[in-house]
Amino acid sequence: MQDTTFFFANVRCRRLVTRLFLSSQEIYPWKMSELIENRQVFTLKEVSESIKRTLAARYTTAFWIKAEMNKLNFYKHSRHCYPDLVQKEAGKVVAQMRATLWADDFQRVNEQFIKVTGEKLTDGITILFKGNINYDANYGLTLQIIDVDPIFALGELEREKLETIQRLKAEGVFELNKRLSLPLLPKRMAIISVSTSKGYADFLQLTQSRMINFRMEHILFPSLLQGDKAAGQIVKQLERIKKVAHHFDLVAIIRGGGGEVGLAAYNDYTLAKTIAQFPLPVITGIGHATNLTVAEMTAHTFAITPSELADMLLIKFEQFIHKLNISKVAMRNGLKQIVNTKQLLKYQIYSIQSNSNAQIFAARNELSHLQADFRFSGQKHLNGASNAVEAIVHRYKSNSQQLLGLNIEKLGRLKEKIQNLPFQLIGNKWLEMKGVENSVKLLSPENVLKRGYSISFTNDGLLLNAHQLKEGDEVKTLLGDGSFTAKVTKVYNTKSHEI
């Protein structure tokens, strides 16, 4: 379909008016111009009527036109609309024209538009509409809109939405906000909404009524939530919150009511990018159940309704409280178990101590009895052995060799008995040691000297033989009761008697 909007650019319109004016006499021969000083002169009304009749004769039927509706210009009193239509190329306006959309047509077109697209007919969207060309002497050239194709507008909105998504992904910011960590208990919220919004009221009512041991603090940053100014106002409030971000845990964008209508603002590139790059987690509950908007896609968390969003937050608190209660019960049970265990340990310690003391006391008594029995038995056996030994000595003295053999036999039996008694063995060892001690004492140098022996020393040490001596040596001799020193005058040996 040919795009006729560009045809109605201002320059071309002026050329058309000029051509129509010059051919007015041929088209309408009954209209005669006035001659003034040999110049053909037309009145302004004649020119206007000529243009109007020419356009009516040229454009006899309505036709389809594609244009961007820069402004809807809806008047509440009359319910008429006077849209400003433009065409842009490379961001510049190359054509513009006023249009009319009468109240009845607007109501019909808007209802159909909402039904198909979920959006109201609003500013800033590209539409495909069916219209007539009208010309009025007072208001100039306008296009009368009699129908709008919502399917085309839906495609344009979806195309713009996809372009926004692709642009954000290409810039690497699409997932940034989702990567932020949501606080365990988000208690401080900055809320972007309207104070009179039902969704905002529902959100507060839920968060306040279900909170028992916690309180969720919030500050409202009011903003329009739909329409062509909504995206800009939401971005402005986000920038305000960003300056005091350290006071909040997260940001909630809440829009209640309105169903599916008015969501085009949430596909705005600037809004979506601001949300994606925001330093705090952004959560949304903007009240719709169909395709997600780009703002929701870039937000950390989204919910279909404000009530569902409140429920998501409340679940975090309730789960935390539940865990606390479980921990509280577990701690109480653990404390009871510790107390019971402590008491059991005390009882066991007391029982062990009592049993140990009793066992130690019994062992001590038993050891005492054993010691007494051991001493008594040992003494008894020692006395018996001593008597037996005396009897053996007596018999040995009085009897012959036969009696000695019998005594030796008895002594063997006594020895076997004594070997079974540790104390007797210790006594025997002690007697043996005493015998050794006596032998050692008998063989000690002092006792040997007392028996008439002597020990001699020279300057070189102990004198062992005569070969160690020479004339003139001094010899020191130790005796049992003293010592003396002698000088060697002559040395003898046992063979030659002289050295």
Structure tokens at 235: 């971005």
For residue 11, name the pLDDT band (cuts at 50, 70, 90).
Answer: very low
446 contacts 459 by C-beta, under 8 angstroms: no
The per-residue pLDDT for range 220-234, each reduced to its tens digit, is 999 988 777 888 999
* pLDDT score of 390 more than 70: yes
Structure tokens at 113: 């538009």
179-183 average pLDDT score: 89
* pLDDT score of 27 more than 50: no
Q: What is the spatial distance between Cα 11 and Cα 389, in angstroms, rounded to a whole number?
A: 160
* Burial tier of 498 (Cβ tally within 10 Å: 0-12, 13-18, 19+): exposed
**pTM of the shown model:** 0.48
The per-residue pLDDT for range 310-351, each reduced to its tens digit, is 888 888 877 777 777 788 888 888 888 888 888 888 888 888
Q: What is the spatial distance between Cα 281 and Cα 191, in angstroms, rounded to a whole number?
A: 12
DSSP for 59-95, written as a single string: --S-EEEEEEEEE--B-TTT--B--EEEEEETTEEEE
Residue among 282, 103, 98 at smallest CA distance from 190: 282
CB atoms within 10 A of CB 440: 10
More confident residue, 222 or 32: 222
For residue 477, name the pLDDT band (cuts at 50, 70, 90).
Answer: confident
Share of the chain above pLDDT 90, in %: 19
Task: Write down the pLDDT at residue 471.
Answer: 83
Q: What is the spatial distance between Cα 304 and Cα 296, in angstroms, rounded to a whole number?
A: 10
218 contacts 309 by C-beta, under 8 angstroms: no
353-368 per-residue burial string, b: 16 or more CB within 10 A, e: under 16: eeeeeeeeeeeeeeee
More confident residue, 428 or 220: 220
Q: What is the spatial distance between Cα 445 and Cα 478, in angstroms, rounded to a whole number?
A: 10
Alpha carbon dihedral 443, 444, 445, 451, in 10-degree steps, equals: -50
Give me the residues paired with residue 101 across strands: 81
